Chain A
Amino acid sequence: AQKITQTQPGMFVQEKEAVTLDCTYDTSDPSYGLFWYKQPSSGEMIFLIYQGSYDQQNATEGRYSLNFQKARKSANLVISASQLGDSAMYFCATSISSGSARQLTFGSGTQLTVLP
């Protein structure tokens, strides 16, 4: 079984500053994927970034980067130069990269508020 822990229920950041959202995971599978999704108040889950367990380098997508520390089972999301539109709920998720059945296990989420 897989488990995702997000210990920050809420975070505040000043506009244009960087912010780190924490995520730790627990899985016994040797091959897995780590995801971050953004969920605005409208409800849609927006894919942000992906990290494979065998990827040597940290994933980056524009202002988003994933700080992957495999030994610590940590996959923190870093948002650089925060914008007001970044205010949303952020979910960390993991999946087994079995190539067959797909199932994401989500954390409880972090509510990020960007202050002007």
Chain B
Amino acid sequence: KAGVTQTPRYLIKTRGQQVTLSCSPISGHRSVSWYQQTPGQGLQFLFEYFSETQRNKGNFPGRFSGRQFSNSRSEMNVSTLELGDSALYLCASGGDPAYNEQFFGPGTRLTVL
């Protein structure tokens, strides 16, 4: 099975712009979760999608949004970028629900200038 893929791997934007990141989960997985990793705040949960519905949301402003398509691919969008949005954004593909296991992709490193 192919692993979790995330595109792009690296991104440089300027303040005020918006950005869209993409994640394709492992084939057969219907849950996709997004996490933000920064040196100051560590790993923080953004949101989770399951069968095209947002099932859970972390404590982030409304500038952060996402969606999931019928093929389980997910996108997250950040509007009006701020310097503090510079981070590694990790996507996790949900495996066996009995174990709540999650397999991560390689991440997208976003730099906001």
User: Residues on A close to B: CB < 8 A?
Assistant: 33, 35, 37, 42-47, 50, 52, 91, 93, 95-97, 99-109
> Are the CB atoms of B107 and A95 closer together than 8 Å?
no
Minimum CB–CB distance for A38 against chain B, Å: 11
> Are the CB atoms of B105 and A97 closer together than 8 Å?
no
Minimum CB–CB distance for A101 against chain B, Å: 4
User: Residues on B close to A: CB < 8 A?
Assistant: 31, 33, 35, 42-43, 45, 48, 50, 55-56, 58, 88, 90, 92, 94, 97-107, 109
Cα distance A46–B90 when bound, in Å?
A: 12
With A33-B100, A91-B43, A104-B102 in contact, is A43–B109 under 8 Å at CB? yes
Interface of B is mostly: strand
> Are the CB atoms of B98 and A99 closer together than 8 Å?
yes
Cα distance A101–B50 when bound, in Å?
A: 8
Number of A-B contacts (CB under 8 A): 68
A-B contact pairs, 6 of them (CB 8 A): A44-B104, A102-B33, A102-B56, A102-B102, A103-B56, A108-B42
Minimum CB–CB distance for B64 against chain A, Å: 15
Minimum CB–CB distance for B24 against chain A, Å: 15
